[in-house]
Amino acid sequence: MATGSITTLGIGSGLDLQDILDQLKEADSTTITRKETEATELQTLIDSYNSVNAKLFNIKSSALSLSLESDFLKTSVTVSDEEIASVTADNGISATNFDMEVISKARYNTWQSTGVDSESEVIYTEPESGITDENQAVTTGAQTYDILYGAAESQTTISVSVGSGLTLDEIADAINNSENNQDENGDQLVTASVEESDDGQFYIRLSSAQGGDSADEQVSLSGFDYIKSDTTIRIARADKDDPMYLSLAPGTTYAQVAELINDSADNPGVTASIINTGDSEAPYRLTLTSDKTGEDYRISIGNLPLSEVNGADGDSLNAEFSINGVNYKRQSNDAITDVIAGVTINLKKAGETSVGIEQNTEEVKENILSLVDGFNELLSLVKGDSADDQTEDEEQTNPMENDYTMGRMVSDLKNLLVSSAGDSAVYKSLGDIGLELNRDGTLSIDEDTLDQALASNFDAVVSLFLGDEDTGVSGLGDKINDAITDLVSSSGIVTTETDAAETRLQKLESDIETATERLEKRYDTLTSQFVELDTYIAQLNSESDYMQSIIDSFNNSND
C-alpha cells in the first residue's frame, strides 16, 4: 500500500509491484490526458473568441460615434485670454469669431457702517435718564405723552396724561392701561416697560405690542429723556415690492442687528455681517450685501447708519461689455446666453479678448483613427500575432489559425471598411480621406490626407459617414455599426462559435470526470489485488525458505 511517497507494496514479494501498477495506470490514462489537452485547447479558443468579441465592441463604439449626427455637430471654442472671459458653445451652431471687451463686471451692492471698537458695541443707544432709583418720583406736575404709532403717512397719536409725583413703573402702568392705547378691537397698541441700562440708569421703553416688525407698527416719542421708543429700520431690494422692517430696542448691538437681519423671514435677499478690517482703531464694521449682482438687486435702507460702497453715487452695478463694438449690460457676470444664440459667456475681469467658435473635427478624427486601429487589433488577434497571444519565453500556437469562420468575418469587415458610399458622394469611400490597405492585410490612415479632408470639406466627410438621402449616399457609419451589431448579438457569429465551443468543452469535462472516476475505481480494485498477490507470494517465499531449511538440515545430518 502507498502512504504519501512511501509505499509498502512489494515488500513481501520482493517485486516492484507499485512501479508495475503506476505504469499500467499511466498507460490507461492516455485517453484522459488526450481529452484534458483537448479541453485546454478549447478553453484557449473560447478565451480567444471572448477577446474577439471585446475587439468588436471597441470597433462598434467608434462606428456608433461615426453614425450619430450629434457627434459631428460638436464645437470647439478658443478664447485668446481666458482670464478675461470663458465661453462655451452649443453643438451644431455655425462657426463664428468675435472680439469682446469686458468694460466692468457686475457687482454686489454693498453698504457699510463706520468703524467701531467691538462688534458688541451698541448701534441704537439707550437714553441718559439720570435716574438711578426706579422708585424715584419722575413727574413734578401734570404731564401728557403724545405717542405716535403706525406708518408715517397714517400715524395714530396715543395721548396719555399723568399727574405729578409718579415713578417710572406708575407711568408705564398708565400708558399700558390707557383707553387711548387700544385699536378698534380693544387690543393694546404700545407696551411700556421699565428697563435698566448697562450703566445702571432706569428708563421706560416703548415698543409695539405686536412686535414692531412692520411699517404700521412703528412707535415714536420725543422730548423726554427718561422715555425712549424702539426704532424701526427698513431694508429693501430693487426687485422686491415689499421691504423688510425690523424693530430695534435701545441697547441693540451691531452683532445683534446683523443676526436679526439674517434671521428675518422677510429678508429680501441681503446678507449682513460684521467684518474686521484690521484697522488699529475701530476695525469692526457692519456690512450689508445684496445676494445677487446687478441693478435689479440694489439695496435701499432706512434708519440705519450705513453708507453705500459698491454702487455709491449712482455707479452702475451691472456688467458692461461689448461684442464687436456693440455694448451690452447684464445683471450677472455668469451664464450670459442672450447675446449670441447658442453661446454662453462668463465674465471674469475687465479687458479685451477674441473668441473663435468652430466645428470640432478632432473627435471625428479620433473616432476614424480608432475605427482603423480597432480593425488592425482584431486582425492581429485572429491571425495570431497579437501581443495578447504571446509569452515572454515562447510563441503560442494560434487557436484560430484554421478557423474559417473568424477569417471570413475579418475579411467581410475589411471589405465593408473599404466599400463605397455611392458614386454621387464627394468622398466615395474611406480611401478618399486617407485609408490605405497594406500588404500584410492591415489598414492605415494617412493623417495628412484626413486632416485636409476635415479642414477643406467637413460636410463631405459627414455625408460619407451619415449618408445623404437627397444624393443617394449611404452612410458608412450605420453600415459598419449595423454589421458589427449583428456580429456581437446573441445570435451572431462570435456568440454562436463560443456557445458551440463551450458545449464541446462541457461534454469533454464530463467525459474526463467520468473516465477519471472509472479509472480510479479500477485501480483501487487492482491495488487490492496486487496487495493480495504480494501477500500470497510472501507466504510462498516463506514456505520455500522453510522447506529449504529442512533440506539443508537433512543434508547436514547425513554429512
What is the Cα 278 distance to its own chain's centre? 39
Between β-strands 202-208 and 227-229, what pairing exists: parallel, antiparallel or unpaired? parallel
d(CA 84, CA 104): 11
Q: Regarding predicted confidence, which is higher, 156 or 539?
A: 156
Q: Is 400 exposed, middle or buried (0-12, 13-18, 19+ CB in 10 A)?
A: buried
How does pLDDT run across 324-368, given as a tens digit for each residue? 999 999 999 999 999 999 999 999 999 999 999 998 899 999 999
d(CA 179, CA 191): 13
Supply the mean pLDDT for the chain: 87
pTM: 0.68
At residue 3 the predicted structure's pLDDT band, cuts being 50, 70 and 90, is: very low
For residues 333 and 347, the answer to whether their CB atoms sit within 8 Å is yes
pLDDT at position 182: 95
At residue 4 the predicted structure's pLDDT band, cuts being 50, 70 and 90, is: very low
pLDDT at position 394: 45
For residues 245 and 232, the answer to whether their CB atoms sit within 8 Å is yes
pLDDT at position 535: 66
d(CA 450, CA 434): 5
CA-to-CA separations, 440 to 8, 109, 403, 443, in angstroms, rounded: 63, 72, 18, 9
For residues 294 and 282, the answer to whether their CB atoms sit within 8 Å is no
Nearest alpha-carbon partner for 320 in 304, 306, 336, 309? 336
pLDDT at position 24: 64
pLDDT of residue 123 exceeding 50, the answer is: yes
pLDDT of residue 166 exceeding 60, the answer is: yes
Calculate mean pLDDT across residues 173-201: 95
Instruction: Give the three-state DSSP class for 548.
Output: helix
Calculate mean pLDDT across residues 201-215: 95
Instruction: Give the three-state DSSP class for 250.
Output: coil
Calculate mean pLDDT across residues 484-500: 85
Which phi and psi (to 5°) does residue 437 adopt?
-100, 120
Least confident range from 8-22, 302-316, 458-472, 483-497: namely 8-22
For residues 407 and 98, the answer to whether their CB atoms sit within 8 Å is no
pLDDT at position 6: 45
How does pLDDT run across 50-107, given as a tens digit for each residue? 888 899 999 999 989 988 888 888 899 999 999 999 999 999 888 899 999 999 999 9
